[in-house]
Homo-oligomer: A and B are copies of this chain.
Amino acid sequence: MKVVLIGSGSVATHLGLALQTKGVIISQVYSRNALNAKTLADKLNTSFITDISEINKDADIYFYALTDTAFKSLLRKIEMPEGIQVHTAGCIPMNEFEGFTSKYGVFYPLQTFSKNKPVDFSQIPICIEASNIEVQQQLLEIGKLISEKTYLVNSEHRKKLHLAAVFACNFTNYMYDVASEILEDSGFLFEIIQPLIAETAEKTKIMNPFEAQTGPAVRMDEKTISRHLIMLNKRTEFKKIYKLLTKGIYNRHKKQ
């Protein structure tokens, strides 16, 4: 199996590495940015291009790991080869490929990637959607090659998944970031809070987040809440967040 990676960000990087480990040939990397293209191509010991017209025509699958905007702009320029065209995005509908080719799909790994942090791809849910049953079969095969968890998910459901991921990952990480700013203000190292972060995540393996909820908001400890708001007095943005999330937790638990 031979693939081309279109994009050189963290998804392209980790996907490329995972595929290569399983014996898939990464025949080429494309990126508008020559440095990024070269960096990834070097990692994968393959060649790179920055001009899409030079794309290899003989790959089995072309993975588009691009932002929404870069993807759309590339679609207008690329002359699509014979192989299967798939994008890896949570929030782009599959039918964006419609009219360009008949063999296309989506291969969405539900995970957060940073270039320099290795990931265990075998545990990453891969959400697959395809334009026809043959393509679906091929995407499932390649999905199962690198992960123990493949799912068939249509565009409508995938975008919900992506939305849930924004809360569970991006917003969660921002909560860590706010905590790190508060700690820094008081001279604490971030590490003091790491066991708490680990345990909070760990808990979701044995109970649902509704049951796992702790803290002043769920027990409506108004005294603590008002102390916290006083402490946040100069951080207007954090104060707004504190109030809104406290209200959210309260409403959620009051209802039940």
Residues of A within 8 A of B (CB): 10, 67-69, 91, 110-114, 116-117, 119, 123-125, 149, 151, 157, 159-180, 182-183, 185-188, 190, 192-219, 221, 223-224, 227-228, 231-232, 237-238, 240-242, 244-245, 247-249, 251-252
Residues from chain B with a CB closer than 8 A to the CB of A218 are 170
A196-B163 in contact given A174-B245, A204-B176 (Cβ < 8 Å): no
Residues from chain B with a CB closer than 8 A to the CB of A190 are 204, 208-209
A-B contact pairs, 27 of them (CB 8 A): A69-B221, A110-B193, A123-B195, A157-B188, A163-B232, A164-B193, A166-B217, A166-B228, A169-B197, A169-B200, A170-B214, A170-B249, A172-B172, A173-B200, A173-B203, A174-B209, A174-B252, A177-B252, A179-B209, A180-B208, A180-B209, A180-B210, A190-B209, A197-B204, A198-B201, A241-B244, A244-B244
A114 touches B172 (CB 8 A): no
Copies of this chain in the oligomer:
2
A173 touches B117 (CB 8 A): no
Residues from chain B with a CB closer than 8 A to the CB of A214 are 10, 112-114, 169-170, 173
CB distance from A63 to the nearest CB of B (A): 18
Residue of B nearest to A252 (CB): B177
Give A80 to B228 CA distance when docked, in angstroms: 30
Give A228 to B161 CA distance when docked, in angstroms: 11
A206 touches B117 (CB 8 A): yes
CB distance from A88 to the nearest CB of B (A): 14
Residues from chain B with a CB closer than 8 A to the CB of A238 are 167
Give A227 to B183 CA distance when docked, in angstroms: 34
B192 touches A125 (CB 8 A): yes
A173 touches B209 (CB 8 A): yes
Residues from chain B with a CB closer than 8 A to the CB of A221 are 67-69
CB distance from A192 to the nearest CB of B (A): 5
CB distance from A152 to the nearest CB of B (A): 12
Residues from chain B with a CB closer than 8 A to the CB of A171 are 175, 241-242, 245
A170 touches B203 (CB 8 A): no
Residues from chain B with a CB closer than 8 A to the CB of A165 are 179, 193, 196
A199 touches B248 (CB 8 A): no
CB distance from A107 to the nearest CB of B (A): 16
A172-B195 in contact given A179-B167, A214-B114, A231-B160 (Cβ < 8 Å): no
